Chain A
Amino acid sequence: MTQLVLHNYDLDDACYRVRLVASCCDLPVELRNVDMFPGMEQVSPPYLKLNPLGRLPILETADVTLRHTGAILLYLAGLDPQKRLLPTEASALAQMMDWLFFAERDLSVASTARAISIMDVPGDGPATIAQTRALLRIMEDHMSAQEIKGLSFFAGEEITLADLALFPAFALSRDCNIDHDAFPALRLWARRVRATPGFVVMPGIPDYH
Chain B
Amino acid sequence: MSETGWVPIALSRFIAPGTSAGTAVHGAEIVVWRDTGGKAHAWEDRCPHRGMKMSFGFVRGDHIACLYHGWEYDETGTCRYIPAHPDLEVPPSICVTRYAVTEAGGMIWTALPLGDMPEVEPNAPDMDGLRSLYIDAPLDAVLAGVKTVASEVSQTGALITATLGEAPLTLGLQTIDADHSALHITLPSDTPTATRLSLLDQFATLRRNVESPLKEAAQ
Are A174's CB and B56's CB within 8 A?
yes
Count contacts on A: residues with CB < 8 A to the other chain. 17
Interface 1/0 per residue, A168-209 and B, CB below 8 Å? 000000100001111011011001000000000000001010
> Contact mask B167-197 → A, CB, 8 Å, 1/0?
0000000000000001000000000010011
Which of B11-19, B84-92, B97-105, B139-147 is near enough to bind chain A?
A: B11-19
- Complex Cα gap A185–B204 (Å): 15
CA distance A187 to B20 in the complex (A): 9
**In the complex, chain A residues whose CB is within 8 Å of the CB of B134:** 181-182
Tell me, in angstroms, the Cα distance from A61 to B200 when the chains sit together. Answer: 46
Is the Cβ of A206 less than 8 Å from the Cβ of B58? yes
Verify B131–A185 contact, CB threshold 8 A: yes
Q: Tell me if B36 counts as interface (CB < 8 A to partner A).
A: no
Interface size, chain B (Cβ < 8 Å): 23
Stretch of B21-29, B71-79, B116-124, B157-165 with 4 or more beta carbons under 8 angstroms from chain A: B21-29
In the assembled complex, which residues on chain A have CB atoms less than 8 Å from the CB atom of B182? Answer: 182
Q: Is B10 an interface residue (CB 8 A)?
A: yes
| CB-based nearest A residue for B20 | A187
**Contact between chains at B14 and A187 (CB < 8 Å):** yes
Chain A residues contacting B200 (CB-CB under 8 Å) are 141, 144-145, 148
Docked Cα-Cα span, A208 to B70, in Å, equals 10
The chain A residue sitting closest to B204, CB to CB, is A141
Task: For A209, give the chain B residue with the smallest CB separation.
Answer: B58
Let me know if A187 and B19 touch, CB within 8 A.
yes
A208-B58 in contact (CB<8A):
yes
Q: In the complex the two chains form, what is the Cα distance from A145 to B55 in whole Å?
A: 25
Whether the pair A148, B11 counts as a contact (CB closer than 8 A) is no
Residue pair A185, B14 in contact (C-beta under 8 Å): yes
Residues on B with beta carbons closer than 8 Å to the beta carbon of A105 = none
Interface pair A188/B14, CB less than 8 Å apart: yes
The answer to whether A184 and B22 touch across the interface, beta carbons within 8 angstroms, is: no
**Complex contact B196–A181 (CB within 8 A):** no
Inter-chain CA distance A179–B180, complex, in Å, is 14
- Cβ contacts under 8 Å, A206 to chain B: 56, 58, 67
Task: Name the B residues within 8 Å of A174 (CB-CB).
Answer: 56
- Residues of B whose CB lies within 8 Å of any CB of A are 10-11, 14, 16, 19, 21-24, 55-56, 58, 67, 130-132, 134, 182, 193, 196-197, 200, 204
Given contacts A141-B204, A174-B56, A181-B24, 18 further A-B pairs with CB under 8 A are: A148-B130, A148-B193, A148-B197, A148-B200, A179-B22, A179-B55, A180-B21, A180-B22, A180-B55, A181-B22, A181-B23, A181-B55, A184-B10, A184-B21, A184-B132, A185-B131, A187-B19, A206-B56
24 contacts between A and B (CB under 8 A): A141-B200, A141-B204, A144-B200, A148-B193, A148-B197, A148-B200, A149-B193, A149-B197, A179-B22, A180-B21, A181-B22, A181-B23, A181-B55, A181-B134, A182-B182, A184-B10, A184-B11, A184-B131, A187-B21, A188-B16, A191-B16, A191-B19, A206-B58, A206-B67
Listed from nearest, the 5 A-B pairs whose CB atoms lie closest are A182-B134, A184-B14, A208-B58, A144-B131, A181-B22
